[in-house]
Amino acid sequence: MTEKEKCANGLLYNANYDQELIQEKIAAKDLCGQYNQLRNSDSEARISLLKKILGKTGKNICIEPHFWCDYGYNIEAGENFYANHNLVILDCAKVTFGDNVFIGPNCSFYTASHPIDVKQRNEGLETADPIQVADNVWFGGNVVVLPGVSIGKNAVIGAGSVVTKDIPENVVAVGNPCKPVRNIEQ
């Protein structure tokens, strides 16, 4: 089994020395670098390049520079996706965003996790767990979403939160660790 296959199956894998993963990561980061240099007024080129970087997008998508990801092909963004400046998505596993997702500045989504066992960690091993964000979710600035988290539809994640566990739909959730603090009435 290749390192990429191990990753896709949620197993320990080594991305540091696997040439396939290294080359894919370099290609994605080169495209992100190009994207970050485009003028804001060049919206056609920006959308075109985002569609090259990301695995799937809706028609209406906007990511303000600077944007960085590991591979790109594991990211799916629905319709009306907006991310403010300095978005980081470490997409070793799938990161799926529904429709009408709004992300504040300086937000990060991490699918990669490293072993607690020092020997495994020093060997460069890691695992990856997908992140799923439903429709109509809003993230305040400086939010971090950790591996394996799902966020329910219509949720609002308060600024500065660290999302370590699933968040249900129709709630405002805040804090470190992020927890629901109130329901949203529909």
Residue 148's pLDDT band, with cuts at 50, 70 and 90, is very high
CATH number at 63 reads: 2.160.10.10
Residues sharing a CB contact under 8 Å with residue 68, sequence separation 6 or more, in sequence order:
29, 32, 87, 88, 89
Parallel, antiparallel, or unpaired: how do β-strands 144-145 and 162-163 relate?
parallel
pLDDT tens for residues 124-134?
899 999 999 99
How many independent structural domains does the chain possess? Answer: 1
pLDDT in tens, 46-56: 999 999 999 99
Amino acid identity, residue 179? K
| Residue 44 contacts residue 52 (beta carbons within 8 Å) | no
Whether residue 17 has pLDDT greater than 90: no
Task: With both helix axes pointing from N to C terminus, report the angle between 19-37 and 43-53 in degrees, rounded to the nearest 10.
Answer: 170
The H or E element spanning position 175 is strand 171-175
Q: Are 106 and 140 in contact (CB under 8 A)?
A: no
pLDDT tens digits, residue range 91-106?
999 999 999 999 999 9
114 is catalytic: yes
End-to-end CA distance of the chain: give it in Å, rounded: 48
pLDDT tens, residue by residue, 105-120: 999 999 999 999 999 9
Q: Which domain holds residue 107?
A: 3-183
Catalytic choice (51, 52, 56, 114)? 114
